[in-house]
Amino acid sequence: MMKSFLPLLAAAGLAVAGCNQVASAAEPVVAAPAALKKSKESGLKTAIFAGGCFWGVEGVFSRVKGVRSAVSGYHGGNEATATYDRVNSGVTGHAEAVRVTYDPSQIRYDQLLRIFFSVVADPTLKNRQGPDRGSQYRAALVPMSDDQRAVAAAYLKQMGRSGKWNAPIVTQLETYKKFYPAEAYHQDFMEKNPRHSYITRWDAPKVRALAQMYPAVHRATFVKD
C-alpha cells in the first residue's frame, strides 16, 4: 500500500491512494481439507494470518461464521516501527497481518487455514501478494499454540504434495512476537469503503469466492472488531 494514503481523507470517504492498483483479481483455488484436525481447542481462540494487504484478509475473516473479531495490524517487528508509514518501507520486519479471534466449536483452525489459502493468499509467492510487493506483504502463519502449530505445519506440507499449485509452497510459520493493531482508519476498511478501487478489484472478489466456495461458513453480516 502506498504512503500517500491519508487517514483524514479516508475518514471523509474521499478517493485516496491505497494498495497498488491493477486490472483484475487473482483466481481462487479450492484447497483440500486438512488431513490433520485437532479438536483440543475450547473457548475462544486467537490466530494471526499475514497474506498481503490486510484489508482483504480482515474482510474475508470478518464474514466467516464463528469468527468473533478480525483486527488489522502489524506483526514481526518492534513497537517503535509498528506504524503504517514505517511498515510500508518494507524494512521493519513487520508484516501486515490480521488477528483472528474465533470460536472453535463453530469454526476450527484447520478450516480457517483452508479458507485462507483458497481465497485470500497465494502460498507460492514470496514477499508479495497480488499487486503488492515487499516483505510487509509476505504470506505467513503465526500459530498461537502448539496445537495450531502442528496443524499449520502439517497443512503446509499437505499443500506441497497436493499438486494444486505449480510452484513450491513458500509460506512460512512465524513465531509469535507481539501484535500491534493498525491505525483506526485501517480497521473494517472494506466495510467502510466498499467502492474503493482496490477493494472492488482485489478484495470484494475474495469475499464473493468465500460465499461461493464455502457457503456453509459464509455469513453476509459483517462482524465488527
Instruction: Give the residue ranges of DSSP H helices in the chain.
Output: 7-12, 54-61, 84-87, 109-115, 146-162, 189-192, 197-198, 204-213
C-alpha 145 chain-centroid distance: 19
Q: Which residues are catalytic?
A: 53
Q: Which grid coordinates are listed for 56?
A: 482483504
Residues 6+ apart with CB under 8 A from 23: 201
Segments of the chain assigned E as strands = 45-51, 67-75, 95-102, 128-129, 132-133, 139-142, 172-173, 179-181
CA dist 65 and 135 (Å) reads: 30
CA angle, 69 then 71 then 73, to 5°: 165
Query: Beta strands 45-51 and 67-75: pairing type?
Result: unpaired
CA dist 135 and 91 (Å) reads: 8
Burial 32-63 (b: 16+ CB within 10 A, else e): bebeeebeebeeebbbbbbbbbbbbbbbbbbb
